[in-house]
Amino acid sequence: MQTILQNLLNGIAAGSIYALIALGYTMVYGILKLINFAHGDVFMLGSMMGFYGSRWLHRLRGGEALAVAESSWWSAVLILLFAMVVCGVFGYLNERIAYRPLRNAPRIASLITAIGVSFFLEYGGQMVFGPNPKFFPSIIEKHRLEFFGVVTTSYQVIVLGVALFFMLLLQYIVFGTKFGRAMRAVSFNYETASLMGIPTDRVVSTTFVLGSALAAVAGILYGLSYPKIDPLMGIMPGLKAFVAAVLGGIGNVPGAVIGGLIIGVVEAFVAGSQWSTYRDAIAFVILILILLFRPSGLFGKSQAEKV
């Protein structure tokens, strides 16, 4: 029983990180019908920015180079904001330079471009950051908490809290603001929305910025929980988040969150069982099953393709 609860807790913590990444996939898909395969690598960029941000912050305060930054709430928030801004700017440029020129090209062209951007980030990252793994500093102090025999750390609580906060914030943006309404309009029908006077290009750019900033949050949370980071770290979480988005019904915001949590929990149970080697495979088994039996995902509406 204790083991089950422990796995459940670890799974939810990992799953909420997948959920944050999945949100980026699902938002972009909802609006452009584009699967942005570079999204997992934006997540890596966020982690890296957290790593370098904490270093620079430490040096700004006159600390010794290379030493680990002291842990405080303020510096953690600053580092988080820094990573979000860098990734947001990257998301904007990415859309502006790579995807916008292809807006009216066949959809496959943007998809291939997305894969290109992904490679650019992975191997460019190896040149800029170096291929050796780095270890994310503990930017907040870690405490161990225990209740009913289930052990957790303050990190897991922070991961859950921060992830929940940003998911609710996104929910509010999409369903409670004027911009959100524009976003939903664009996702219904791109051309019609632009005829109605909605600045579609700006909506698309902002969506990319939002998604990339969320990926940065996920990157920082990931770095806190699993401190080993390297330029290729985005591949697996990126793919799994993609599966999570498909599972929840791609284009559906709450669906992406639920999908992420499901993937996280299932993985924790598989890894804790006799078949721990199948941990990475299970996400893709889920993908195959969902595509076979419910291609529109758990919460997606199946739409007839207009011809």
Partner 1 sequence: MKSKTLLVFIAVLSLTLFGCPPKENGAGGGDAGGEILVGEYGSMTGGEATFGQSTHNGIIMALDEINASGGVAGRKIKVLTEDDQSKQEEAANAVTKLISQNNVVAVLGEVASSNSLAAAPICQANKVPMITPSSTNPEVTKKGEYIFRVCFIDPYQGPMLAQFVRNDLKMTRAAILRDVKSDYSMGLSEFFKQRFLQLGGQIVADQSYSKGDSDFKAQLTALNAAKPQVIFVPGYYTEIGQIAIQARDLGMNQPFVGGDGWESPRLIEIGGKALEGSFYSNHYHADDPAPAVRSFVEKYRERFGDKPDSLAALGYDSMKVLAEAMKRAKKIEGPAIRDEIAKTNGFQGVTGTITLGEDRNPVNKKLVVLEIKNGQLALRATIDPGASTTSAPSTPISAVQGSGTTTGGPAPNSELQAPTSTVASPPAAGKQPTTTQPKQ
DSSP class of residue 66?
Answer: T
DSSP class of residue 258?
Answer: H
For the segment 259-298, give every residue that binds partner 1 (CB under 8 A).
267-273, 276-277, 279-280
Q: Which C-beta is closer to partner 1: that of 171 or that of 225?
A: 225
Q: Which C-beta is closer to partner 1: that of 63 or that of 227?
A: 227
CA angle 258, 260, 261 (to 5 degrees): 65
- Closest separation in Å from C-beta 233 to partner 1: 8
Using rule CB under 8 A, residue 127 touches partner 1: no
Using rule CB under 8 A, residue 64 touches partner 1: no
Using rule CB under 8 A, residue 3 touches partner 1: yes
Cα torsion 28, 33, 38, 43 to 10°: value is 30
CA-based nearest residue to 21, from 220, 154, 177: 220
Q: Please, which residues have CB within 8 angstroms of residue 220's CB and are 6 or more apart in sequence?
A: 46, 47, 50, 79, 80, 83
Helices 279-293/235-248 angle, 10° precision: 30
Q: Which C-beta is closer to partner 1: that of 105 or that of 151?
A: 151
- Closest separation in Å from C-beta 132 to partner 1: 5
CA-based nearest residue to 7, from 273, 288, 283, 275: 273
Query: Structure tokens of 146?
Result: 């225990």
Q: x/- contact string, 11-40, with partner 1 (CB under 8 A)?
A: x--x--------------------------
CB 108 within 8 A of CB 33: no
Q: Which C-beta is closer to partner 1: that of 186 or that of 262?
A: 262
- Using the contact rule CB under 8 A, the part of the chain among 4-12, 42-50, 57-65, 170-178 near partner 1 is 4-12
Q: x/- contact string, 151-170, with partner 1 (CB under 8 A)?
A: x-x-x---------------
Instruction: State the burial class of residue 176 (Cβ atoms within 10 Å of its Cβ: 0-12, 13-18, 19+).
Output: exposed
Q: Which C-beta is closer to partner 1: that of 10 or that of 94?
A: 10
CB 250 within 8 A of CB 29: yes
Q: x/- contact string, 217-256, with partner 1 (CB under 8 A)?
A: --------xxxx----x-----------------------
Q: For residue 181, how many other CB atoms are within 10 A of its CB?
A: 13
- Using the contact rule CB under 8 A, the part of the chain among 148-156, 164-172, 174-182, 202-210 near partner 1 is 148-156
Q: Which C-beta is closer to partner 1: that of 163 or that of 183?
A: 163
Q: For residue 129, how many other CB atoms are within 10 A of its CB?
A: 18
Q: What is the largest CA-CA distance in the chain?
A: 64
**Can you name the residues that pair with 171 across neighbouring β-strands?**
none
- Closest separation in Å from C-beta 115 to partner 1: 21
List of residues contacting partner 1 (CB under 8 A): 2-3, 6-7, 10-11, 14, 130-133, 135, 142, 144, 146, 151, 153, 155, 225-228, 233, 267-273, 276-277, 279-280
